[in-house]
Amino acid sequence: MLFSENFKIAIRALRANKLRSGLTMLGIIIGVAAVVALMSVGNGATASITGSISNMGTNLVSISPGTDEGFGETSAAPSYLYLSDYERLEKQLKGLNSITPVYQSGYDVTFGKSSHSIAVSGVFENYLDVNAYKIAVGQKITNAHNNTQARVAVLGSKAAKDLFGKLDPVGEVIKINNISFTVIGVLQEKGSSGFFDPDSIVLVPLETGYAKLFGAEASHNSKPLVGQISMSVVNAEGINNVMRQAEYLLRREHKLDPTEKKDFSLSNQRDFLATLDTVTQTMTIFLGSVAGISLLVGGIGIMNIMLVSVTERTKEIGLRKAVGAHKNQILVQFLIETLVISILGGVLGILLGIGVGFIVKYTGLLTPQIMPSHIALAFFFSLAIGLFFGIYPAYRAANLHPIEALRYE
Amino acid sequence: MIQAQDLMKVYQMGDSEVGALNGASFTINKGEMVTIMGPSGSGKSTLMSIIGCLDVPSSGSYVLDGVSVENMDESKLAEIRGRKIGFVFQQFNLLARTSALENVMLPLTYAGVSGKERSDRAFKALERVGLGERTHHAPNELSGGQQQRVAIARALVNEPAILLADEPTGALDSKTGVEIMELFQSLYQDHGQTVILVTHDSYVARHANRIIKLSDGNIVSDEVNKNPIKAGTPRAEE
């Protein structure tokens, strides 16, 4: 007996009960759509986060105060990173491209009537190089500005837009915490990285900051503090070497025994990226699994309906056997019915999932990545569900005794 | 055509065994029209199942058209049913929402016949039962008598050795019943078709040339009916 015959029989049986077939299929459609949509959204999120982080460069190392021994531990004493630490590293650490200290604090920044709370960073000249910022208009903060404690500021692109709208900020005077600064430049846009907006910043010379802006908070034991030391290494492959060296130098600077825990933490983008990748991938798999469970429920729905259908059509099965149908022909007939439901449901679900992906894209939240592998996965999963949950009802139908089936009322 | 020897059928009911057929022996020749008659519980349904190869006897031998059937497995039995037996049931058992032609094509489909040959043969079978005009009607668009004709066409389409009819008029009014009995008689008389009727109704039974009576699983009589009722003769008061 030809496959096409069985296929026709299956289609006829499904059409005979359109509502029921539709509802059964809906279980698979929703399951598959959820798998496709969630996995593509998950992958889109991963790609946008890792993409923007790797934009910052994989040869970056940053040093922050505090231990990195884990979230659970609270250090007994607060730990600090000093400007002198930066000076030590700047003089003695080999293999560096550039290095910069940063001290960051949030202030109200005003121009005319517009006022915004923006992160203000005190920086040295190298800051732009290390963090891959470029000047769009005007000039950057130089060592000369630091030496003279000049009250100048460079605005991030978003900060400039927020404060000035379409006006040209260069040459204008803004007030940071009520202290006047002259805008000398605006940075090129970098794009959001998901965690913080690198365009919503104001840069000022670090020395100016210590002298006029940051106040007593920015020093400890009369030594100026920094929030972070960032550096880029010449050779990304040798980054671990540089980090070991930096740790050795800072341990000496902080007078720590080799056995003592360090009171600063070193991190590089590459490690961070790897960790983040694992996290987001776990997240994607988790989302996919949750969606997979709904697909499983859909499969159970199929099995339920097929069992009902076999019972309802017992007499038909008896007749088919009486006129010469083999066991296997009955098995195939019912299996094809389930497969039609699950495959058609799978295809519709994939389309719906892609549709959801496009809706998410148009909301502008993020760009989902619909990967052929996800579609293939969802498709084969729904096929497998159809086979798995279809085989038992079909087996029951095939093994009905012809006489009992014919007599069934 | 049929040689049955000591057919026994025992059903397991819980712990005890119930004999539905206790050793039936008979021979039916090609071209005969035979009634198997008996009240319900007499074993006639069991006998019909065995003759129709829907079931196998617990013991005894059964040779159908030269083929020994008693030890066949399920799939062989299905093949025999498809090739040699044409079933007609009391409730017609047509597939709903399926045209008369497609219903008649069903046995051919399972026998591996396809394409034009299949539809031609199905069409001819429908013509034989007088339904050449209504081949594309679904069962719910046909009267009871017409539905039974479709069922008979379905039974004939594979040119079976035996036409096996189980209470074929049981669900029809008497006038339509007569038409169906006429059809059976003409198939037997004009085409030499072997017909086996299974019924509890002695009026229907007496349309055949030979009547086998069953009671409690035993054949109690097997007699030639010298004066079969011609279909259409009114039912006599009994």
> pTM (2 decimals)?
0.72
If 0-12 CB within 10 Å is exposed, 13-18 middle and 19+ buried, where does residue A103 land?
A: buried
pLDDT at A39 exceeding the cut of 60: yes
Would an 8 Å CB–CB cutoff place A16 in contact with chain B? yes
Q: How far apart are CA A184 and CA A171, in angstroms?
A: 6
The pLDDT score that the predictor gives to residue A69 is 55
Q: What are residue B44's phi and psi, to 5 degrees?
A: -70, -35
pLDDT at A308 exceeding the cut of 70: yes
| Helix ranges restricted to H, chain B | 44-51, 74-84, 100-110, 115-128, 144-156, 174-191, 202-205
Residue of A nearest to B111 (CA): A324
The pLDDT score that the predictor gives to residue B77 is 92
Q: What is the largest CA-CA distance in chain A?
A: 105
Q: What are residue B87's phi and psi, to 5 degrees?
A: -95, 140
Considering CB atoms only, which of A16, A327, A403 is closest to B54? A403
- Asked if A12 and B78 come within 8 Å (Cβ–Cβ), the reply is no
Residue of B nearest to A13 (CA): B97
- Asked if A326 and B79 come within 8 Å (Cβ–Cβ), the reply is yes
Would an 8 Å CB–CB cutoff place A403 in contact with chain B? yes
Q: How far apart are CA A271 and CA A298, in angstroms?
A: 41
Would an 8 Å CB–CB cutoff place A329 in contact with chain B? yes
Q: Which residues of B touch A (CB under 8 A)?
A: 49, 52, 54-55, 74-75, 78-79, 81-83, 85, 87, 89, 93, 95-98, 106-107, 109-112, 114, 154, 158
- Asked if A324 and B158 come within 8 Å (Cβ–Cβ), the reply is yes
pLDDT at A398 exceeding the cut of 90: yes
On whether the CB atoms of residues B171 and B91 are closer than 8 A, the answer is yes
Which residues on neighbouring strands pair with residue A201, listed in sequence order? Answer: A119
Report which of A47, A58, A49, A75 is spatially closest to residue A267, judged by C-alpha positions.
A58
Q: How many A×B Cβ pairs under 8 Å? A: 64
- Asked if A320 and B106 come within 8 Å (Cβ–Cβ), the reply is yes
With beta carbons under 8 A apart, name residues in chain B contacting A12. 97-98
Binning pLDDT at 50, 70 and 90, where does residue A1 land? Answer: low
Q: How far apart are CA B16 and CA A55, in angstroms?
A: 83
Chain segment A89-135, per-residue pLDDT in tens: 888 888 888 899 999 999 999 998 889 899 999 999 989 888 888 89
Judging by DSSP bridges, how do beta strands A179-187 and A173-176 pair with one another?
Answer: antiparallel
Task: For chain B, give percent helix, strand, coil, nearest 5.
Answer: 35, 30, 40
Whose structure tokens read 């399920």?
A: B74
Chain segment A178-234, per-residue pLDDT in tens: 999 999 999 998 776 556 678 889 999 999 999 888 888 888 888 899 999 988 888
pLDDT at A84 exceeding the cut of 70: yes
Chain segment B203-224, per-residue pLDDT in tens: 999 999 999 999 999 999 999 9
Would an 8 Å CB–CB cutoff place A313 in contact with chain B? no
Q: How far apart are CA B42 and CA B40, in angstroms?
A: 5
List all residues 6 or more positions away from B124 whose beta carbon is below 8 Å from its beta carbon. Answer: none
More confident residue, A73 or B27: B27
Q: How far is A357 from chain B (nearest CA, A)?
A: 41
DSSP string computed for A238-302: GHHHHHHHHHHHHHHHTT--TTSPPSEEEEEHHHHHHHHHHHHHHHHHHHHHHHHHHHHHHHHHH
Give the CB-side neighbour count of residue A250, counting CA atoms within 13 A: 29
* Polymer length of chain A: 409
Binning pLDDT at 50, 70 and 90, where does residue A408 land? Answer: confident
